[in-house]
Structure 1
Amino acid sequence: MLLLDVDGVINSYPGPGNGARSGVEVYRPRDEDGVEWTVWVEPEVRGWLAELADTFGIVWCTTWRNANEAISPLVGLPTDLPQILLPVRGRGEPFWFCWKTPQVRRWAAGTRVTRFAWIDDEVSDADVDALSEPWLAGRLPGKRWEWTIQHTPAIRRDDLMLVRTRPQVGMTERQVGDLLEWGRHG
């Protein structure tokens, strides 16, 4: 499985005050509330996603709750991909790992997925710890996310590959190559 974020991975922000780079495709999809957003997609992304989809089952892990309708058609992915439904951002999660991580761990336990890659602009080594270490459970008593960490099985470190992108660049050829290598030989 490959958990796929949109903003900062597929949608490469041009950065404050900068326009889109030459050759970048610019789209204006609407989110589930009908709000129009600008999405910048590098020309190579469509082909990279096709390669990744040939190797992995793709699962949306994004705040775009309508990613299948709004994003999939723009980048050539099927419009019926599974999606991890994320809570409203930043509601009491600790600062040392990505706010999506408790829900990802809950998803993995609920679907019995024990091996996956995740590409996102907010993941770090701390997320590998939060996904693979049961001991994190007692660190901050009383937090809502703690139950998830404590009551869901840990994933073996060898069965995780987390790739952090730079939001102004999005996914790169090297990152895609690393994911493909891991997916094919892991």
Structure 2
Amino acid sequence: MTERPLLLLDVDGPLNPFRDPFAALRGYASHRMRPDVWLSYRDPESRRARRGLRVRLHPGHGARLLALPFDLAWATAWTHQANTLVAPRIGLPDDLPVIEWPELFARDPDGLFWKTRPLLDWAAGRPFAWVDDMITEEDRAWVAAHHPSPALLLRVHPRHGLRERDFTALSAWAAAVTGAGR
């Protein structure tokens, strides 16, 4: 196989370990941001909306992600704001493709995560690794049954964010899929 697999990235959880109060000790920088999806659930006059969302990002993650043998794309409710708010702070290009969700947080009739079906449609049969904090066993089973190419659904805990073992797993999976490891 010569085509590189896709790496579909979520922001909150994998890149922003929002449940880790000690992320700064692991090299994460704290930023205040006002993503549209977050603001849509807040009173615009509230103190919280004025202060913004605390987002913890690791400045080295961009280079690590770009070094992986994938074509990167955003799979996040941040949509295009991932390119303008997140990408420059971690060293990613500001023009990565973005999955356009038909409806954010839509309830799935079979209990799948709301991103699963649209993400599979967007991947259009290409091999992909999906990094998210909300992936379930039901999502894995559904993707295995409905996607014709290899897929890795990598659940990242929102207290830890991307860790060394995640980068190792992504690299090994991509090498196996592309045949680069042979």
Q: In the alignment, is residue 155 of structure 1 matched against residue 160 of structure 2? A: no
User: How far apart, in 1, do the equivalents of 2:172 and 2:23 lie?
Assistant: 30
**In the alignment, which residue of structure 2 is the partner of 1:177?**
168
SS at match of 1:179: helix
**In the alignment, which residue of structure 1 is the partner of 2:78?**
64
1:11/1:33 Cα in 2 relative to 1: closer, same or farther (>3 Å)? Answer: closer
**In the alignment, which residue of structure 1 is the partner of 2:17?**
12
**In the alignment, which residue of structure 1 is the partner of 2:3?**
none
Q: In the alignment, is residue 27 of structure 1 matched against residue 7 of structure 2? A: no
Q: Report the TM-score, using the length of structure 2 for normalisation.
A: 0.76
Q: Which AA in structure 1 matches 2:143?
A: L
User: How far apart, in 1, do the equivalents of 2:129 and 2:34 lie?
Assistant: 27
SS at match of 1:90: coil
How far the C-alpha of 1:20 sits from its partner, in A, is 4.4
User: How far apart, in 1, do the equivalents of 2:158 and 2:150 lie?
Assistant: 25
Contact residue 30 and residue 37 of structure 1 kept, 8 A = yes
Q: Which AA in structure 2 matches 1:168?
A: R
How far the C-alpha of 1:42 sits from its partner, in A, is 3.5
Q: What are the equivalent positions in structure 2 for 1:123-142 lying under 5 Å apart?
A: 123-133=135-145
User: How far apart, in 1, do the equivalents of 2:23 and 2:162 lie?
Assistant: 16
Residue-by-residue CA offset, 1:12-56 (whole Å, 9 max, x unaligned) = 1145xx46442321112332479532211245423422323xx10
1:121/1:33 Cα in 2 relative to 1: closer, same or farther (>3 Å)? Answer: closer
Q: What are the equivalent positions in structure 2 for 1:98-113 lying under 5 Å apart?
A: 98-109=113-124, 113=125
Q: In the alignment, is residue 120 of structure 1 matched against residue 132 of structure 2? A: yes
Q: What are the equivalent positions in structure 2 for 1:71-86 lying under 5 Å apart?
A: 71-86=86-101
Q: Which AA in structure 2 matches 1:114?
A: R
User: How much is the aligned-residue C-alpha RMSD, in angstroms?
Assistant: 2.3
Structure 1 range deviating more: 116-125 or 20-29 = 20-29
SS at match of 1:84: coil
User: How far apart, in 2, do the equivalents of 1:68 and 1:125 lie?
Assistant: 29
Q: In the alignment, is residue 51 of structure 1 matched against residue 55 of structure 2? A: no
Contact residue 117 and residue 161 of structure 1 kept, 8 A = yes
User: How far apart, in 2, do the equivalents of 1:26 and 1:50 lie?
Assistant: 22
User: How far apart, in 1, do the equivalents of 2:167 and 2:112 lie?
Assistant: 23
Q: Which AA in structure 1 matches 2:99?
A: I
How far the C-alpha of 1:91 sits from its partner, in A, is 2.5
Question: Sequence identity, in percent?
Answer: 33
1:92/1:163 Cα in 2 relative to 1: closer, same or farther (>3 Å)? Answer: same
User: What is the aligned length?
Assistant: 158
Higher relative contact order (CA 8 A, sep 6+): 2
1:7/1:95 Cα in 2 relative to 1: closer, same or farther (>3 Å)? Answer: farther
Q: Report the TM-score, using the length of structure 1 for normalisation.
A: 0.75
Residue-by-residue CA offset, 1:64-86 (whole Å, 9 max, x unaligned) = 02111111101111111101022
